[in-house]
Homo-oligomer: A and B are copies of this chain.
């Protein structure tokens, strides 16, 4: 009996090692440096970006700009490829995310609260990208946090006033889309503003997406794409939440003038400024999941990509995932073991307790309770940014023996879940995944391994 338990544990350890390898591969696919060097190459004086090819002789000058937490690392790789071909560059990043480059200046700025430094960078970026010609190329690097890092209110509206509107909307529970609608209509560069500045140069925007479904008009509030929302939408939103009396006068006046047609709308579909814009998603949850799938296959698992769009209350989402893992063990559905089921996206935690944890660790804890005693299954839930909630862990491992081991150590898994206290739980079990900050963010990944390749895996039916 003792031997059997040991044997299972060894298998679980081995599954855990595999899960970590698969996660590492997913991270590589989202690494800013890898993304740039795999998407952009410079050969025979031809610049390849994604599937497009640009003869270098076509361009008089190449400019690099961008915003976002991972954009310094993207710029670093770009500079290594293009070197002195870059005329000038400027990228706004979060404090502490700077890198020393030769051609591209890195401007540190405030995040999640935009600040004066961000505004200065944005202003300088606009100056650098104004008055370009048809012969110029702009490569724009967008990553998570880009919206806050590229603040540039319209003339007559201050940063503090724009911020006040954001806070008022957040305070009355407005949706993120509603927030973005207002933001775009108060901003110089958002809602396609950057594309307008850059025109008639060619604009290639490389996007590392940390938003579910990669909505280009929402990522960094869409500086390089058309905006479907209007001043009339802004009016309706301010009506709905009764904010007209609360917002700064400058903002109210601007929106009212816009509704009357006396202000320039955000960039709309079919605008000439969009004719030379190419938006490429170079990193996202799906691409990382595909890399994970490939790695899983190479390790001998049958992979299944469930969805990269998973949202919802963490512990409930975990129950559904666990139900699928259990079905694999019981009946070999949706696919027989050895199986690797992948899912991505970003769940939410409604805090009830005062514990320490993150959504991925909570996912692992809830899943552990569901698969307790069910055998050879390991679930790794982790954030690709390497930081899950206010902890030093990226996520945690759950398996069929987590609950048993925890109880043997005097831990109460139900209580830990109730208290949102997953971090101390997994720390004590030594089941945390700690990667440190990864320098990227394509949301979360769940990797469920059921059954070990190369063994006879038994299931009913």
Which residues of A are at the interface with B, using a C-beta cutoff of 8 A?
A: 213, 286, 304-313, 316-317, 319-321, 323-324, 326-327, 330-331, 333-334, 345, 461
Contact = CB atoms under 8 A, between A and B. Distances in A.
A351 to B, nearest CB: 16
Contacts of A316: 312-313, 316-317
A324 B319 CA distance: 15
A327 B304 contact: no
Given A316-B316, A317-B316, A320-B320, A326 B306 contact: no
Given A309-B327, A317-B319, 11 more contacts: A286-B461, A305-B334, A306-B333, A306-B334, A308-B333, A309-B326, A310-B323, A311-B319, A312-B320, A320-B321, A323-B345
Contacts of A213: 326, 330
Nearest to A311: B319
Residue of A306, A307, A308, A345 with highest tally of chain B CB at under 10 A: A307
Contacts of A333: 305-308
9 contacts: A286-B331, A305-B327, A306-B333, A306-B334, A307-B323, A308-B333, A310-B319, A311-B319, A313-B316
A331 B317 CA distance: 21
B326 A307 contact: yes
Nearest to A316: B316
Nearest to A310: B323
B334 A304 contact: yes
A213 B304 CA distance: 23
A321 B320 CA distance: 9
A310 B320 CA distance: 6
Contact of A327 (B308, B313, B324): B308
Contacts of A306: 324, 327, 333-334
Residue of A286, A323, A333 with highest tally of chain B CB at under 10 A: A323
A334 B308 CA distance: 10
A323 B309 contact: yes
Contacts of A323: 307, 309-311, 345
Residue of A306, A309, A313, A320 with highest tally of chain B CB at under 10 A: A320
Given A320-B317, A320-B320, A334-B334, A327 B312 contact: no
A377 to B, nearest CB: 13
Nearest to A348: B316
A68 B314 CA distance: 36
Contacts of A286: 331, 461
A324 B317 CA distance: 12
Contacts of A320: 307, 310, 312, 317, 320-321
A460 to B, nearest CB: 10
Q: Which 10 A-B pairs have the closest CB atoms?
A: A316-B316, A307-B327, A312-B319, A309-B323, A305-B333, A312-B316, A307-B323, A313-B316, A320-B320, A307-B324
A334 B343 CA distance: 10
Contacts of A311: 319, 323
A323 B304 CA distance: 14
A241 B326 CA distance: 31
Nearest to A332: B305
Contacts of A324: 306-307
Nearest to A317: B320
